[in-house]
Structure 1
Amino acid sequence: MSTDAVLISSFTFATMQINRHVALFVLLFGTVGNLLNIWVLSEHSLSDNPCSTYLWWSSLSSAIFIWSGTLTRVLQGYNLNWPNTNQPVCKTRLFILTTCFSVAVWTLVGASSDRYLRSSALVKFRNFSTVQTARRILIIIITGSVLVFLEVFYCYEASVPNVPVACYPQSLPCRLYNDWMLILFTTVIPSCFMAVFGSLTIRNIRTRVVQPVMHVEFRNNTANQNVRLRLNDRNINHMLLIQVLVVLLMNLPVTIHRLYASLTANFSKTALRVAIENLIYSLVVLFSFFSYSISFYLYILTGSIYRAALKRVGRRLLRRIGLLH
């Protein structure tokens, strides 16, 4: 057996093991984390905060994104490739995956913008930081993501040869469009927005002490409640900033790989090079999936308000099932 054949076999085996074990870990880890996020963010002390509304939807779309992407990789690890060889399943799965990926990213942009509005010195800006505004922006995000990635039903084909995954755009124009749309719409543009809103929020926090927006129904709140709102805002700012930084850093490798794949799409490649690229692709994609699996654990580490909410919902659950009185 030639050296190239041995290397190809080794890289292929490594890719299979990564898909079999690492992808399964990400799937389970991310599912548990995002479901707990959805549960905790529904708690009353957090649900009336517009930023929490964005984070709730980010967790929901992240859970669907992880399942639509990593489950197929786990099956690939056991040589079960039917989701990539069945045409309707291929197209539907990729549409769900790309749309949910987009929603998961852009809801973080929405949360970052809300933090900027909430910390603004101008009352007219702070008045936009409401749950109603968040819901309107969420409708725009979901609708825009669906429209942008409707091309999946036209471009993607099952059983495409010599590509990282068999469910892939068949034609070169489709590959270029899809790669650049994923690079720009789900990475570069939202990253720029998050960086801008994050820096503006930090500037606002440093330059003044922000009084929280008080709506009509809260005008008679006590000073203690005002302090609670300020502490909640500070905690959520910290939680969101850490998550945004993690997402940006962990999605950088897959962005670079997609850029490389787009620039070399019409190059002739040897079997060894394809095997190496498939291994790298599996690693960077799982790295990206992992960034949307750890938000719950980041919130636990960085947000005291989140830990308190988790304790409250946990106690309620234990009382409901009779384990705590």
Structure 2
Amino acid sequence: MASTSTSSFDYASQQVAIYLNGFNLIIGIPGGFLNILVFLSLKTFRENTCSFYLIIVSCLNVGQLLLGALSRFVISGFSIDWTIMSRPYCKLRIYLFQTFSLITLTCMCLATIDQYFATCKRVRWQKWSNITTTRYLTAITIIFWSIFSILYPIYYDIVLSLTTNKLSCMNTNPTFDRYNTNFHQIIMQGFLPNFLTALFGILAYYNTKNIAYRIVPLVRRELDKQLTSMLLVQVIFNTFSLLCYNIVSIMGPYINTSKDPVVLAKFRLVQIISYSIYYFYPACPFYIYVCVSERFRRQLTYVLFVKVFKHCKRLQLAANEVEPQP
């Protein structure tokens, strides 16, 4: 009876992993590229400091989906685990995924803080929101987390898992595993970025409610309102996605000590669901922006049907030109 229940939960875990991760890939990768296209195509966004962070986030979100959601989809759907086929890939994947994740979360924090400074009524604080500072902070963030994440390929390797009795790309150092579980996953990738983005997102939203009473150019005022509303809704969505993952990470060390195979199978299902929900935050920003901001919808339409169409037409005319005969 227990083996039947275990098999049922394992089958459910497999199906959840296939469909939820497949869904994340189908919507997330095109959405990420559309975000990049809109942000880079319009001068309004290219010259804005908050948008600069969102461009970095959009690029790395695509990377997270390819490294994380795609691997889980292939493992569950086709029983192909690339991480146990190649030791270098095992180490490179965990390094890039952790680096991308930390840079993304940091840039989201910096974007909300920057938007708070940009909408602040104090001119001295507004000066902190400038493109030079933004580029320096982005470079420091990328360099710092790239160096910090070197610990992951050092301690991750292909080993025989004691719980599943199968080869797995996993952490081989107990001390680093405790740090990763109790601090990194819960604090660095959860409660700390959630707290900072929520705090400054709400403060920036409060600033935009009073921005109409200040002497601010109309274009800048509308852009600040647009970006703040987009960020605030994304922060709320990210908090939900990361919170599920954080709660399961806290429960994991206690439930994995159980000797009951049914309990472990149930928890594996909960883990798969939380991991799949985790990938909602890199998969859904584009659709959040489209739903929240009417201005973003108009900008998207303009980029796709005016700028891209004109560019394709120019390329077609150039290809059809016939050089004059000598």
TM over 0.5: yes
The alpha carbon displacement at 1:8 in A equals 1.3
Instruction: State the partner residue of 1:40.
Output: 38
Q: Does 1:261 align with 2:260?
A: no
The alpha carbon displacement at 1:211 in A equals 4.2
- 1:160 and 1:170 in contact (8 A); partners too: no
Q: Which moved more, 1:18-27 or 1:287-296?
A: 18-27
With structure 2 as the length reference, what TM-score do the two structures score?
0.88
Instruction: State the partner residue of 2:137.
Output: 137
- 2:38 and 2:300 in contact (8 A); partners too: yes
Q: Identify unmatched segments of 5+ residues in structure 1.
A: 213-225
Distance 1:149 1:98 in 2: 7
Instruction: State the partner residue of 1:166.
Output: 168
Distance 2:205 2:311 in 1: 41
CA RMSD of aligned residues (A): 2.3
Counterpart pick for 2:238 among 247, 257, 263: 247
Distance 1:260 1:166 in 2: 21
Question: What's the CA shift string for 1:183-212, capped at 9, x where partnerless?
Answer: 211211111211221232234334553444
1:81-100 matched pairs, under 5 angstroms = 81-100=81-100
With structure 1 as the length reference, what TM-score do the two structures score?
0.88
Q: Which amino acid aligns with 2:271?
A: Y
Distance 2:168 2:13 in 1: 14
Distance 2:47 2:275 in 1: 34
The alpha carbon displacement at 1:261 in A equals 1.9
Q: Which moved more, 1:173-182 or 1:195-204?
A: 195-204
Instruction: State the partner residue of 1:316.
Output: 307
Distance 1:146 1:134 in 2: 18
The alpha carbon displacement at 1:174 in A equals 2.1
1:172-251 matched pairs, under 5 angstroms = 172-179=174-181, 180-207=183-210, 209-212=213-216, 226-251=217-242
- 1:26 and 1:293 in contact (8 A); partners too: yes
The alpha carbon displacement at 1:160 in A equals 4.2
- 1:45 and 1:309 in contact (8 A); partners too: no
Question: What's the CA shift string for 1:153-208, capped at 9, x where partnerless?
Answer: 12222244126993221333222111221221121111121122123223433455
The alpha carbon displacement at 1:13 in A equals 1.3
- 1:90 and 1:167 in contact (8 A); partners too: yes
Distance 2:34 2:271 in 1: 29
- 2:208 and 2:225 in contact (8 A); partners too: no
Change (3 A) 1:251 1:23: same
Partner secondary structure for residue 157 of structure 1: strand
Distance 2:97 2:46 in 1: 26
- 1:57 and 1:104 in contact (8 A); partners too: yes
The alpha carbon displacement at 1:92 in A equals 0.9
Instruction: State the partner residue of 1:70.
Output: 69
Change (3 A) 1:305 1:197: same
Length, aligned pairs only: 309
The alpha carbon displacement at 1:64 in A equals 0.3
Change (3 A) 1:20 1:263: same
1:43-58 matched pairs, under 5 angstroms = 43-58=42-57
Instruction: State the partner residue of 1:216.
Output: none
Q: Which moved more, 1:78-87 or 1:91-100?
A: 78-87
Change (3 A) 1:269 1:137: farther
